[in-house]
A and B are shown apart, each in its own frame.
Chain A
Amino acid sequence: MTQATTNQPRLAPWLAGLPIAATLWVLAYAHLTDLADLAIGALGLTRATHLGEAVYFFLYDTPKMLLLLTGIVFLMGVIQTFFAPERTRALLAGRRLGVGNAMAASLGIVTPFCSCSAVPLFIGFLSAGVPLGITFSFLIAAPMVNEVALALLLGLFGWKVALLYLGLGLLVAIVAGLIIGELKMERHLEDWVRAIHAGEAMVSSGDDFTWPKRLQAGLRHVREIVGRVWPYVLVGIGLGALIHGYVPEDFMAAFMGRDVWWAVPAAVVLGVPMYTNAAGIIPIVEALIGKGAALGTTLAFMMSVIALSAPEMLILRKVLKWPLIATFIGVVATGILLVGYVFNLVL
C-alpha cells in the first residue's frame, strides 16, 4: 500500500468535536415535538386541520429520520473500518457450515459492501476457500440487513420492529446459505469461476487505520450515504404526510391486511422486478403500513425488493449457472414468505 505520509489527520479536533456533536444530536432528538409545535405555530396552522396535521407530520418526521440516519450511518462507517472485505474473507475461509453461516451473515452487516462488488466478492471468497453456502449467507445478508434499512425502520416503527427485521434478515441469510451449502451445488458455477484459484495475497484496502482515520471514514460514510438517500427520505416523508393527512385509514387493509392469505406471496413476487435501495422502498412501506397493510406483508415486500432483484440476477448469471440461480431465488423467496407470515401471526 501507499506509505504513510505527512498529512496524517490528528485526534485532538475529534476529541473536542465529537462530544459537542453528540450532545447537540441528543438535544435535538429529545425536542423534536417541541420544534414541530413551534414551527406549526409560526406558520399559523393547527393540527386540527388536514393541512396542519400533514405539515406537522412532515416537520416532525424529517429531522427525526435525518438525525437517526446520520447517527447510525456514522457509527456504521466507523465500525466498517474494522472489517475490510479481505479480513472478513480470512475469517470465513475454511469454516464449516453452520457456525460459518452465522458468522458470514453477521459479517455481512458490518463489512462495507456495494451491490456492484457482489461478483468480485463472490469469486474472491470462493477462490480463498470460503465454502459456497457460507458465501451465499454473506451475499444475502449484506444488502438486506443494512444500516439505512435499520435506521429507517427504527425511525418509523420503533426498535422492536427494527430488531425483528435484523433478526429475521439474519435468519433468512443463514438458513438459505445452509441449504445451498447442503445441496452441494459447486458444479453449477460457471467454469471460468471454478478455474480461479487462490494464489498470492490480494491487495488489502487499508489495514493501517488510526482512530482519526476511522472517524474520518465515518464522516465520509455519512456524506456518501446520507448525501445520496436524503431526497428519497424527504419524498417518502412527504408522501407519508399527505397520506397521513388525507387518505382514509384502512384503505390498504382490503388488499394487504393480515387476513388476506395471498398477500404475502403476492408481495414477494411483486418485489422481484423492482430494484431500489432501502431508502427508495421506505416511503412505500410507510404509506402501506399507515393505511392498514399488515406489517409482515410489507416487510416481506421490502426484503424481496432489496434481496431479490432481477438486475442482480443478470449480473450473477455471469458466475452462476441457471440451476444455482433458481435454487438461490427459491430458497430466499421461501424464507421471506415465512418471515412475512410469522410477522403477521405474531404482531
Chain B
Amino acid sequence: MKNIKILGTGCRNCQTTLSLVEEVARAQGVEIALEKVDQIQDIMSYRILATPGVVIDGEVVHSGGVPDRKQVEEWLTAAQ
C-alpha cells in the first residue's frame, strides 16, 4: 500500500489535490494511506518551493499546483 501525503497550508488548490487523489484511487480501486500535512514547518522539511506538493512513500513527486488527472492516474498505476 502506498503512503501518499499532500503538502499544503489548506488553500483551495491543496483541497482540490487531496480530493483528486482520493477520487482517482477509488476509481482505480487502489488502496492508499492518504495524509494531509498542513503545518508549515513540516511542509518545509520536504523542501518544496510552492504548494500544493505530493509525496509518495517519502519522495516528493510534484509541487506547485494541482496535478493533472492523468498524472495522478500514472502515480497510482505505478503503485500497484
Tell me the bound Cα distance from A318 to B41 in angstroms. 9
Task: Say whether A23 faces chain B, with CB atoms less than 8 Å apart.
Answer: no
Known A114-B50, A116-B14, A120-B48; judge A205-B62 contact (CB<8 A). yes
Give chain A residues whose Cβ lies under 8 Å from the Cβ of B9.
Answer: 116, 119, 315
Task: Say whether B60 faces chain A, with CB atoms less than 8 Å apart.
Answer: yes
Task: Say whether B19 faces chain A, with CB atoms less than 8 Å apart.
Answer: no
The B-contacting residues of A in range 1-36, CB under 8 angstroms, are 1-2, 5, 7
Tell me the bound Cα distance from A114 to B52 in angstroms. 10
Task: Say whether A156 faces chain B, with CB atoms less than 8 Å apart.
Answer: no
Of all chain A residues, the one with the shortest Cβ separation from B66 is A224
B41 and A86 within 8 A (CB): no
Task: Say whether A124 faces chain B, with CB atoms less than 8 Å apart.
Answer: yes
Count how many pairs of residues, one from A and one from B, have CB atoms less than 8 Å apart in the complex: 75
Of all chain B residues, the one with the shortest Cβ separation from A199 is B47
Q: How far is the CB of A199 from chain B (nearest CB, A)?
A: 7
The B-contacting residues of A in range 228-272, CB under 8 angstroms, are none
The B-contacting residues of A in range 92-151, CB under 8 angstroms, are 112-117, 119-121, 123-124
Q: How far is the CB of B41 from chain A (nearest CB, A)?
A: 6
Task: Say whether A183 faces chain B, with CB atoms less than 8 Å apart.
Answer: no
Of all chain B residues, the one with the shortest Cβ separation from A113 is B50
Known A85-B49, A120-B48, A192-B41; judge A112-B74 contact (CB<8 A). no
Interface size on B, residues (CB 8 A): 27
Tell me the bound Cα distance from A319 to B40 in angstroms. 9
Q: Which of B61, B64, B74 contacts A117 (CB 8 A)?
A: B64
Task: Say whether A196 faces chain B, with CB atoms less than 8 Å apart.
Answer: yes
Give chain A residues whose Cβ lies under 8 Å from the Cβ of B11.
Answer: 114-116
Tell me the bound Cα distance from A47 to B11 in angstroms. 44
B64 and A112 within 8 A (CB): yes
Q: Digit string of B48-69 for contact with A (CB within 8 Å is 1, else 0)?
A: 1111010000001111111000
A84 and B64 within 8 A (CB): yes
B51 and A117 within 8 A (CB): yes
Give chain A residues whose Cβ lies under 8 Å from the Cβ of B66.
Answer: 224
Tell me the bound Cα distance from A7 to B14 in angstroms. 25
Tell me the bound Cα distance from A112 to B63 in angstroms. 12
Q: Which of B44, B60, B64, B71 contacts A85 (CB 8 A)?
A: B64
Of all chain A residues, the one with the shortest Cβ separation from B51 is A117
Tell me the bound Cα distance from A318 to B43 in angstroms. 13
B50 and A121 within 8 A (CB): yes
B49 and A124 within 8 A (CB): yes
Q: How far is the CB of B55 from chain A (nearest CB, A)?
A: 10
Known A2-B75, A116-B9; judge A205-B40 contact (CB<8 A). no
Q: How far is the CB of B22 from chain A (nearest CB, A)?
A: 19
Tell me the bound Cα distance from A199 to B46 in angstroms. 11
Give chain B residues whose Cβ lies under 8 Å from the Cβ of A319.
Answer: 40
Known A117-B51, A120-B48, A199-B47; judge A205-B13 contact (CB<8 A). no
Give chain A residues whose Cβ lies under 8 Å from the Cβ of B62.
Answer: 203, 205
Interface residues of A (CB under 8 A from B): 1-2, 5, 7, 84-86, 89, 112-117, 119-121, 123-124, 192, 196, 199-200, 202-203, 205, 224, 315, 318-319
- Smallest CB-CB A-B distances: 8 pairs: A116-B11, A205-B64, A124-B49, A117-B50, A85-B49, A203-B60, A202-B47, A205-B63
